[in-house]
Amino acid sequence: MTTTRQRTDATQRVWNALQDVTDPEIPDISVVELGIIQRVEATDDTATIDMCPTFAGCPALDYMRDDIRKHVTAAGFDHVRVNIVFDPPWTTDRITDEGRRKLKAFGLAPPTKCSGGPVTEAIIRDVACPFCDSHDTTLESIFGPTLCRAIHYCNACRQSFEQFKPVE
């Protein structure tokens, strides 16, 4: 991959360290797979990471920021700076395919891709069950246990499940 080859070794080391930083609410998915790492710059002992918050006011943000700092420091960088950037805003479309697979394995329906369009109620309602892939599902509550999640019920396998809500 050209992009990988163009990165300096130091930058690549930071990306590798970031693969181990996970969202506390979804233990398996890394911040890279979530698509919230905007930019990484690194020299011998200094690393700068720009990350964008997923959901405004997400309580996990401070935790993830500290965790990023910890992991990158452990990768051999003495000076680690984590900036929170809001532009361009994060959207659920930035979650990688691997990230989506992990969400599903976790029993959490991946967000529907909105391809830049607005998130309509129809988009939120049309979701496949992460357990049996049926689209015969009903939206039960638009607010799950966290702001980021909606609760659905699968009429096919009769289980309720959470969906990582799409965000435009």
Q: Which residues bind Zn ion (CB under 5 A)?
A: 129, 131-132, 134, 154, 156-157
Question: With respect to Zn ion, which residue has the nearer C-beta, 123 or 157?
Answer: 157
Q: Which is nearer to Zn ion, 18 or 150 (CB)?
A: 150
DSSP 93-146: GGS-HHHHHHHHHTTEEPPPP-TTS---HHHHH----TTT--S-EEEEES--SS
Give me the sign of the Cα torsion angle 109, 145, 116, 33.
negative
**Residue 97 Cβ, how far from Zn ion at the closest point, in Å?**
21
**Least distance (Å) between residue 127 CB and Zn ion:** 11
Nearer to Zn ion by Cβ, of 81 and 135: the residue is 135
Residue 42 pairs in a beta bridge with: 47
Tell me the closest approach of the beta carbon of residue 118 to Zn ion, in angstroms. 27
